[in-house]
A and B are shown apart, each in its own frame.
Chain A
Amino acid sequence: MNIFDDLNSIFREVFDDDTIEVNDSTTADDVDGWDSLSHVNLIVTIEQRFKIKFGTKELLTFKNVGDLRRAIERKLSGTGC
């Protein structure tokens, strides 16, 4: 199972929409209901599912799903801060 499968399942659950397919270039504008309020819930779910913890600074720099994916991969490989 690759990281996008996990991300898709998380996005579908958080935004209550089974048709969501995310990729690196997906932004908040592409997902119905992804605003700054639901973003909090999304981040918490990702952290719990992948058992990782983002730093506040890096959370503020995510522009799209690609940034999010790369940060997750860095954490999982143990190279991230």
Chain B
Amino acid sequence: MSFNSLQYLVFLPLTVLIFHRLSNKYKPYFLLIVSYLFYLCTHILSPFILLFTTIGGYFFAIKISETISEKDKKSLLFTGILLNIIILLSCREIFKSLIPAIGVSFFTFQNISYLIDCYLGIIQPERNFLYYALYLSFFPKLIQGPIERASNLIPQLKHMKNTICEYETLRGGVQLFFWGMFKKIFIADNIAPVITSILNDINGTSGPVLLIITYLYAIQIYCDFSGYTDMSLGSARLFGINLTNNFNYPYFSPSTQDFWRRWHITLSGWILDYIFKPLSMKGRNYGNYGVITALIITFVICGIWHGLTLNYICWGLYHGILISLSFLTYKKWEKFCKKYKINQGIIYIINVFITFNLVCFSWLFFMTKTLSDVWLILSKNITTLLNFLAIHSFDTGISTCFIIVIAIFFFIEVLQAKFNIKAYFERQNVFIRWAGYYIMIMVIILWGNYGSKETLEFMYFRF
């Protein structure tokens, strides 16, 4: 059951209604059952995989904390991590036609983070199986994240009993949900068919069109994934739960390092804490070489997390190299700008422009299936740019009106980032607010794309 499906639009309000009518004692039980039913809709075997992973994480964590010998603790931790990796690889690669457990990479990563945090003593293992099971299965974040830490979610789940159904909280949740839906159904899904049709005939597509879809894909993947995240956070808020935001205006980042602090924040936080930090600390006496090696290994693993294909590995490698270069040159660039007294605003715009273009290029590895397609699009893009955008007549199949709406959308994002326009909107009187809601819902209904299966599905489902 996808967030943008009609079933979910019935399922969610019904669940919220029953949840708030229930006596406090039964709320966590109810959410657990509902979450497993939600997951059952993806595949008959999926809940069993989830349950198996949960039982493993629960017992391994308790055993790790009760073990005194450091050597035994380490062995238990590695066995627990290995078990999760085997589950992940089995579902994602080896038996994917048999058990297509959607979201397995998200809950196994949460399980691993929980085991490591218990090993390090950052958290104590959860003794109540109900809350641990709910931590892994809570349906708003089950299929596509955010990758929550136990220290953030479990305490909230425990206090859920005291959740009061406040109008402000519900309103905020519903607003966020529909804003996400607008990003997904109206923006991302209207771009999707254009890109799919062009990718079917890359050879026959002109350079300028390929250049435009390179940027359009960046908008699509952002609106698709951040739209999903908004719907996820909005759904959770209806139960009084605050999940971690995954996006912080990533396309306005002035460096690739900064981009990774703002894009898929919970995944980048995960790889940083559990892969980069141990690696960089191990290699800390090798100076910059140690840091760069750790960065490249970390990002290659991050690429592999998306799928065991050459494209994803190269995507990870590319980001590893980019961040390494940024790490080596950022201070020198800052000093250079200070020395020549270049205006801060201009520096920021130049940095954002360069970072955005470098990131857009990296999406070519996501957009296509083979490296030869990446090279073909890239070479055509370069030729187009060298001809200084010698744009003849071309048609991407996207209307000018839609491009203007995308521009307005990003303008709203800028306003939100700078001035918190959402809070300003909420202070307006009831007529203005409801006019805004009606416009957004009408846009989603009238101009949203409800076409093929490929547009209905969220792009990050495959991970």
Within 8 A of B (CB), among A10-43: 16, 35-37, 39-40, 43
Q: Cβ of A36 and Cβ of B290 under 8 Å apart? A: no
Q: Cβ of B122 and Cβ of A43 under 8 Å apart? A: no
User: Interface range on chain A: under 10, 10 to 19, 20 to 34, or 35 or more?
Assistant: 10 to 19
Nearest Cβ on chain B to A63's Cβ, whole angstroms: 8
In the complex with contacts A57-B120, A61-B122, A36-B285 CB distance below 8 A = no
CA distance A39 to B284 in the complex (A): 10
A–B complex contacts, Cβ < 8 Å, 19 sampled: A35-B257, A36-B272, A36-B276, A37-B257, A37-B280, A37-B295, A40-B280, A40-B284, A40-B290, A40-B291, A44-B284, A56-B278, A56-B281, A57-B120, A60-B120, A60-B273, A60-B277, A60-B278, A61-B122
Q: Cβ of A43 and Cβ of B284 under 8 Å apart? A: yes
CA distance A59 to B327 in the complex (A): 21
Contacts of B295 in A (CB 8 A): 37
B13: interface (CB < 8 Å): no
Contacts of B331 in A (CB 8 A): 16
Nearest Cβ on chain B to A40's Cβ, whole angstroms: 5
**Choice from B121, B272, B278, B285 contacting A44 with Cβ under 8 Å:** B285
Chain B residues touching A, majority SS: helix
Who on chain B is nearest to A81 by CB? B70
Q: How many A-B residue pairs have CB under 8 A?
A: 36
User: Interface range on chain B: under 10, 10 to 19, 20 to 34, or 35 or more?
Assistant: 20 to 34
B282: interface (CB < 8 Å): yes
Contacts of B273 in A (CB 8 A): 60
Nearest Cβ on chain B to A74's Cβ, whole angstroms: 15
Contacts of A44 in B (CB 8 A): 284-285, 287
Who on chain B is nearest to A63 by CB? B122
Q: Which residues of B contact A (CB under 8 A)?
A: 120-122, 257, 272-273, 276-278, 280-282, 284-285, 287, 290-291, 295, 327, 331
Who on chain A is nearest to B291 by CB? A40
Nearest Cβ on chain B to A11's Cβ, whole angstroms: 16
Nearest Cβ on chain B to A70's Cβ, whole angstroms: 14
Contacts of A40 in B (CB 8 A): 280-281, 284, 290-291
Nearest Cβ on chain A to B67's Cβ, whole angstroms: 14
CA distance A36 to B287 in the complex (A): 14
Nearest Cβ on chain A to B299's Cβ, whole angstroms: 13
CA distance A57 to B392 in the complex (A): 60
CA distance A8 to B246 in the complex (A): 34
Within 8 A of B (CB), among A31-77: 35-37, 39-40, 43-44, 56-57, 59-61
**Choice from B120, B121, B277 contacting A36 with Cβ under 8 Å:** B277
Who on chain A is nearest to B272 by CB? A36
Contacts of B280 in A (CB 8 A): 36-37, 39-40
Nearest Cβ on chain B to A66's Cβ, whole angstroms: 15
**Choice from B121, B122, B287, B291 contacting A37 with Cβ under 8 Å:** B291
**Choice from A16, A35, A37, A59 contacting B281 with Cβ under 8 Å:** A59
Contacts of B257 in A (CB 8 A): 35, 37
Q: Cβ of A37 and Cβ of B278 under 8 Å apart? A: no
CA distance A60 to B290 in the complex (A): 17
CA distance A39 to B291 in the complex (A): 10
Q: Cβ of B290 and Cβ of A56 under 8 Å apart? A: no
Contacts of A35 in B (CB 8 A): 257
Nearest Cβ on chain B to A22's Cβ, whole angstroms: 20
CA distance A3 to B112 in the complex (A): 36
